[in-house]
Structure 1
Amino acid sequence: MKVLRCPVVELRQYTLHPGQRDVLIDLFDREFVESQEAVGATVLGQFRDLDDPDRFVWLRGFEDMPRRAKALESFYGGPVWQAHRDAANATMIDSDDVLLLRPASVRGAFPVPVGARPIPGEPASLPPSLVLATIWYGNTPFDTTFVEFFQQHVRPLLTETGGEPLAYLRSEHSPNTFPALPVRMNEEVFVWFARFADEGHIDQHLNRLQLSQRWREEILPTLSERWARAPQRLRLAPTERSVLR
């Protein structure tokens, strides 16, 4: 049986003071990657939001909720965060926009990255790419029936139109095991991620999707019945040290 990579995932969106995003990214990529992974977290990816110059988005994974608590206690109580927290916090207006997720199926987990993460200051070994994160907000839980619908009907069409999902996740409703860091509870979300060569390929995918008769007549009506509000799309540019790229 395939073992899930990072059965618990945080999708973290930070609102920053104007002009501070690159300051935070430089600090994050230099100080906060290996130091988190040394205590049991996995930094899955970190990104610039192409549509908001003051938003930093990143993904962090854990083996389970108890180990999440242990890892966060170790990191935020440890010397690296203590040394740099004031500088990091000075860049931020809000860091509480956090969704707690779990892979929607074994096939929905994030893949193991290919190649090593560049060391600070070195260029990435893989060519540039962009990641599109799509967040669907549900009026009911995204249950097993919905996951089967996504896998059998939605995912093939996303793939055909050039947006094959890298991963797809749904809400994790376990109690927050590290309450010092808030998460958005009492929400039902389904989030999928896809990788593209550039903005043009994202636009091509979205245009093909909107023009698809299957999307308009078969899939979108079913999705719309479940949506509590309009979906959110994040067009994300990986930082130099992001392994998800």
Structure 2
Amino acid sequence: MQPSDFASCAVVEMRRYALRPGHFDDLQRVFQPWLVASQEQAGMRLGGQFRDREDPDRFVWFRGFAGMDQRREALESFYYGPVWQAHRDAANATMLDSDDVLLLRPTEPAHHPAAPATPGLPGPTASPTWAVAHVWALPADAGLEAWLTTSGHAVLQRAFGVPVAMWRTEPAENTFPRLPVRDGRFVVSLAMFEDGERWGLAADRLESEPEWRRITARLSEAGVTSEVNHLQPTATSGHPMPAVAGVVEG
């Protein structure tokens, strides 16, 4: 069974590639015309492709699957298929490291991403979208994870004023070991803003939230580390549609 869209995927990969200096565009000349549609045809659903705004040689992208067994089937179909075999050398030549991969699943309750933007169309989908991905590395504490993905999520979404998608580590064994994934427990959030100005206002609101300061203090005491990725969609990115900033409850 193939997922109908990225939002319905039960398993998600967040993939972050370190590229050879100056080779981001070289990778996109292979990825965009050849590797987007072929992965979708193999049963995956791509959830956005991005350039890191603070590291122009880092490519960040998301893809999803109906489940772990379907992930194995889709990856086998793609990586052993003719399109990847024809273009893998050109793609791999641009990369220094492609092993920074998080294997994820929806939180409980689930915080699904919004419907995807349509690349190339005028209007809101063509705005200079500013994507923000937070990644928290957690200790082996299920209670802390549950707290961050419920109370923490509510604070993030209230401060940002836009929908905040969120995932947690998928603990199942990697069904396609040819592609390694990182060990550990992670929580990832993804929020979409129309532009950098709206993100800046949202970040200011978050910093002024007393409850968020309490949350970050507790996370720090527990040894949680975090990073924020500021991302720019590529031309063919099917990232979630940016919402007009406002007050979003829950």
Q: Does 1:215 align with 2:212?
A: yes
8 Å contact 1:6–1:109 — kept in the other structure? no
Match of 2:66 among 63, 66, 73: 63
Question: What code does the residue aligned with 1:237 have?
Answer: Q
Residue in 2 aligned with 1:242? 237
Report deviation, 1:215.
2.0
State the distance in 1 between where 2:101 and 2:146 align.
Answer: 22
Gapped runs of 5+ residues in structure 2? 241-250
Report deviation, 1:196.
1.0
Cα distance per residue 1:25-51 (max 9 Å; x no partner): 221111011101111111111000001
Q: Does 1:39 align with 2:36?
A: no
8 Å contact 2:156–2:164 — kept in the other structure? no
Query: Paired residues, what number?
Result: 233
State the distance in 1 between where 2:121 and 2:59 align.
Answer: 20
Match of 1:108 among 111, 114, 119: 111
Residue in 1 aligned with 2:243? none
8 Å contact 1:123–1:240 — kept in the other structure? no
8 Å contact 2:153–2:164 — kept in the other structure? no
Taking the TM superposition and a 5 Å limit, the aligned residue runs for 1:146-161 are 146-147=145-146, 150-151=149-150, 153-161=151-159
Which stretch of structure 1 is more off in the superposition, 193-202 or 11-20?
Answer: 193-202
* Secondary structure, aligned partner of 1:61: strand
Q: Does 1:89 align with 2:89?
A: no
State the distance in 1 between where 2:191 and 2:197 align.
Answer: 14
Question: What code does the residue aligned with 2:46 have?
Answer: V
TM-score by length of 1: 0.87
Gapped runs of 5+ residues in structure 1? none
Match of 2:201 among 196, 200, 204: 204
Q: Does 1:130 align with 2:127?
A: no
Report deviation, 1:72.
0.6
Given the superposition, is the C-alpha separation of residues 95 and 67 from structure 1 closer, same or farther in structure 2, using an over 3 Å criterion? same
Report deviation, 1:174.
0.7
Taking the TM superposition and a 5 Å limit, the aligned residue runs for 1:7-26 are 7-26=10-29
Q: Does 1:195 align with 2:198?
A: no
TM-score by length of 2: 0.85
Residue in 2 aligned with 1:183? 181
State the distance in 2 between where 1:111 and 1:211 align.
Answer: 26
State the distance in 1 between where 2:73 and 2:49 align.
Answer: 22
State the distance in 2 between where 1:108 and 1:141 align.
Answer: 20
State the distance in 1 between where 2:170 and 2:110 align.
Answer: 17
Given the superposition, is the C-alpha separation of residues 163 and 232 from structure 1 closer, same or farther in structure 2, using an over 3 Å criterion? farther
